[in-house]
Amino acid sequence: MRRVTLTQFLIEQQRAGRVSADLRLLLEVVARACKAIGVNVSKGALAGVLGEAGTDNVQGEAQKKLDVIANEILLQANEWGGHLAAMASEEVETVHQIPFDFPKGGYLLMFDPLDGSSNIDINVTVGTIFSVLRNPEGEGDPTEESFMQPGSEQVAAGYAIYGPSTQLVLTVGKGVHAFTLDREMGSFVYTTPYMTVPEETREYAINASNARHWEAPVQRYIAELQEGKAGPRGVDFNMRWVASMVADVHRVLTRGGIFMYPLDEKCRAQGGKLRLMYEANPMAMLIEQAGGAATTGRERILDIKPSKLHQRVPVVLGSKSEVERVTAYHLEA
């Protein structure tokens, strides 16, 4: 059986008119950066990359050493290729401009360089999330306003997951496709075409330690799941929580289910827990492309027009019927 690499897949997408040459090359650069991040993650204590960096990111969160390393790998890999107008990172306060001595392209790249970094020191799955927008026509150097586009304008989104194997999960607006890193070849190989979120599920992912802070619709929904066969759903549900969005969403894409980080009293003042542009939008695009749904509990995530670079939102995504149920409970309330 012929093995198709990521490069071959993207060339075919370009021939089919789904991606431009620049977008194809940009995605290849991102993939190479993810391979480099995966190497650093896999070395762990051998490379002295575990533990705290001694700095805080723009959100005031303590950075791990690998947060800083992953961020630098992505910035440096994507500066010089000529495909980007600018970048934005969850770890950096302002827009990262392309250095003046490098050519500029027509795209904007956003990323969470190392999602789930609280799990690094205990050797649990982490990942990288990325999103691509077009730079609005007629602009010079992009500003923060250039990035203020709803998620429905994304031209590509994906994540790399660094687990027992390293995988790249990608959409360019025509389905969701998974690639597995062949370490001997050094290439991502096409392994799962057209991933689909199963419609029926008996799994859910939520941070149960926040239960006392949840709004009534979420408490209602989770209570129904916990009642199992004796409750209104008539079946038993299992809770899964890795505390790495990449890992939890990858499970939803693979096995179905629902992932929730809803609005609660702890994060209400911030508008939510997860970042719209670095986490919610790319994951929402992937889930919708795989036949699922993604809302805040009140509205479709991809319809939200951002108002600031590090905006936070509630996230409810996964199997369509479950997401619709949670959203209906919110709207009834």
Query: Is 118 annotated as contributing to ligand binding?
Result: yes
Query: Is 175 annotated as contributing to ligand binding?
Result: no
Judge whether 108 and 134 are in contact, CB under 8 Å.
yes
Query: Is 112 annotated as contributing to ligand binding?
Result: yes
Q: How far apart are CA 186 and CA 245, in angstroms?
A: 26
Residue carrying the six token digits 């660094």:
162
Query: Is 181 annotated as contributing to ligand binding?
Result: no
Q: How far apart are CA 274 and CA 261, in angstroms?
A: 7
CA distances (Å), origin 315, targets 16, 25, 132, 271 = 33, 31, 20, 11
Query: Is 116 annotated as contributing to ligand binding?
Result: yes
Nearest to 85 by CA among 138, 13, 37, 35: 138
Query: Is 248 annotated as contributing to ligand binding?
Result: no
Query: Is 117 annotated as contributing to ligand binding?
Result: yes
User: Which ranges in the chain belong to alpha helices (H)?
Assistant: 6-15, 21-43, 65-79, 216-227, 245-255, 281-289, 320-332
Query: Is 279 annotated as contributing to ligand binding?
Result: yes
Residue ranges for the known binding site are 90, 112, 114-118, 207, 273, 279
Residue ranges for the known binding site for substrate are 115-118, 207, 273
Residue ranges for the known binding site for Mg(2+) are 90, 112, 114-115, 279
